[in-house]
Amino acid sequence: MKLTSQDFKANVKTALADPTLKIALNRTTGLLQRRRAQVIDEFAEYGAAREAAEKIKDHTLDNLEYYLTQFEENATAAGATIHWARTPQEATGIVTEICKAEGAKTATRVKSMLGEEIGIPEALAKAGVKRIETDLAEHIIQLAEDPPSHIVMPAMHKTHEQVAELFREKHAKPSNSDDVAALVESARHELRQKFLDADIGISGANFLIADNGSIVTVTNEGNAELTVTPPKTHIVTVGIEKIVPSMEHATVFLRLLSRAAIGAEITQYTTFYNGPKRKGDADGPENMHIVLVDNHRTEMLGEFLRPMLRCIRCGACMNHCPVYAAIGGHAYGAVYPGPMGSVLTPAMLDLKSTKDLPNACTLNGRCKEVCPVNIPLTDMLRSLRAKQFERDLTPPVTRYALAGWGWLARRPRLYHLTTSLAMLAMRVWSMNRGRIRWFPMAGSWTRSRDLPQPELGTFMQQYKRRGSK
């Protein structure tokens, strides 16, 4: 399945017509919202931690070159090899060259959105390296040949009944039960030997620590440790914005990340890797390569999208987005779905081919409210809309309507008269049924639902009538 942002409207229609998708999304987003609300309620220092996280990220972004250079020096001293990649092509080129040099036939992989962003699955396939996804959800979507639909829970679009059916079809020794524990056991059985046989282990990193050259991974399944430890070579692909100055700074984010992502105080596994295996170590990879990827991040540093580089990929914004909850992640046709994706995708691709994404938002502001690093997502979406308008990418109907509204809004008397008449017309129009089933220029709305009958009078008239009560 390959969907693109250009087909957003068609993708949305398909998603809305899928009743199973609705069940899958309702089950998970509701649960994640409740869990998050509870742990944040119990976390007395949440406000202070959020503020500190925002400041640390802003400081690190202000001094990005300094901290990245410090990381390079310290990681190299710990025995890792650092590679710099400006584009996805450069990054995947480095990864496949390492695989070639190692004569690798198989690679186990830990879920990493950066890996999806730069196209690691496609590059490995092209290089003839068999990819084995080890995260349970990634294992599911690899078997289903689906792209991820969420940045933390890539198989959010699947119900466990669908997963059971898939495992029965694809696993060597599947369980007859639809029970989640039985499904996990089935996946464990399927993957265990593959972990041990892999030539290369590929991971991302949740954080890079500048003052000691470590990388940090955060998982709930222990698959990162099993992916990274047995093979001879460990490759890390990571975005340059993941850098933090020190361990102390990383702990601020670790306290926020799992709370925001899955509503838990801490993830099951938080692992710090400092270079490859050293003399005397019982196990671990002999080589460690860290590929630091830019892919438009340095461009974002210098513009209004800069706060987006604070993102720690927790997924809370999509878990609380009414648009995501209705259509799921695939409809966005991009690696990053939901509110953060609607900002990031145009920044990484272009504003034209992704023009529907900044408009797939009600601007209700829940995403900003729940973001642990306080990213003003709705402000940035609004700015992207303004950029589209400036570049003539907004549809002509919208442009003319906005121009007409702008002209009218500068003439208050005429504006009040026109809005009063419009209200009156809508009330007369809906007199028979008490609702509006069709109205000129509101076809997109009324095609799928009725418009309610408007209140008597415009907002200003009602405000005056009611006073400030």
Residues in contact with ligand SF4 by the rule CB under 6 A: 260, 311-317, 340, 371-373, 375, 377
Quick one: 114 or 312, whose CB is closer to ligand SF4? 312
User: Which residue type does 397 have?
Assistant: V
CB of 317 to ligand SF4, least distance (A): 3
- Residue at 210: amino acid letter: A
The three-class DSSP label of residue 106 is strand
Residues composing the chain: 469
Nearer to ligand SF4, 293 or 373 (CB): 373
Nearer to ligand SF4, 231 or 315 (CB): 315
> Among residues 83 and 150, whose Cβ is nearest to ligand SF4?
150
At 275, the amino acid letter reads G
> What's the min distance (Å) between Cβ of 311 and ligand SF4?
3
> How many C-beta atoms lie closer than 10 Å to residue 464's C-beta?
10
Cβ atoms of residues 296 and 343 within 8 Å: no
**Residue 399 phi, psi (nearest 5):** -60, -50
Three-state secondary structure call for residue 357: helix
Instruction: Report how far residue 301's alpha carbon sits from residue 330's, in angstroms, rounded to the nearest whole number.
Output: 28
Nearest CB to ligand SF4, comparing residues 24 and 344: 344
Strands 214-219 and 130-133: unpaired
How many Å separate Cα 427 from the centre of its chain? 43
Closest separation between CB of residue 256 and ligand SF4, Å? 9
Q: Tokens 């590059």, residue? A: 123
CB of 198 to ligand SF4, least distance (A): 29
Could you tell me the smallest distance in angstroms from the CB atom of residue 377 to ligand SF4? 6
DSSP string, 212-239: TTEEEEEESSSHHHHHHSSSSEEEEEEE
The Cα 1–Cα 20 span in angstroms is: 17
- The angle at the Cα of 19, spanning 14 to 22, to the nearest 5 degrees, equals 90
CB of 308 to ligand SF4, least distance (A): 7
| 3-class SS of residue 79 | coil
Among residues 116 and 225, whose Cβ is nearest to ligand SF4? 116
The tokens of 390 are what? 């400036």
Rounded-to-integer distance, Cα 227 and Cα 234, Å? 8
Q: How far is the CB of 356 from ligand SF4 (least distance, A)?
A: 19
Distance, C-alpha 195 to centroid of its chain? 27
Find out whether 328 and 276 touch, Cβ atoms under 8 Å: no
Among 145, 14, 115, 107, which residue's Cα sits nearest to residue 335?
115
CB of 341 to ligand SF4, least distance (A): 9
Structure-token match 């068999």, residue found: 130
**Helix ranges, 18-144 (H):** 19-42, 46-62, 64-77, 88-102, 113-118, 120-126, 136-144
Q: Which long-range contacts (CB under 8 A, 24 or more apart) does 162-166 make?
A: 162/20, 162/24, 166/140
Least distance to ligand SF4 from the beta carbon of 147, Å? 18
- In the complex, minimum distance from the CB of residue 160 to ligand SF4, in angstroms, rounded to a whole number: 24
CB of 141 to ligand SF4, least distance (A): 19
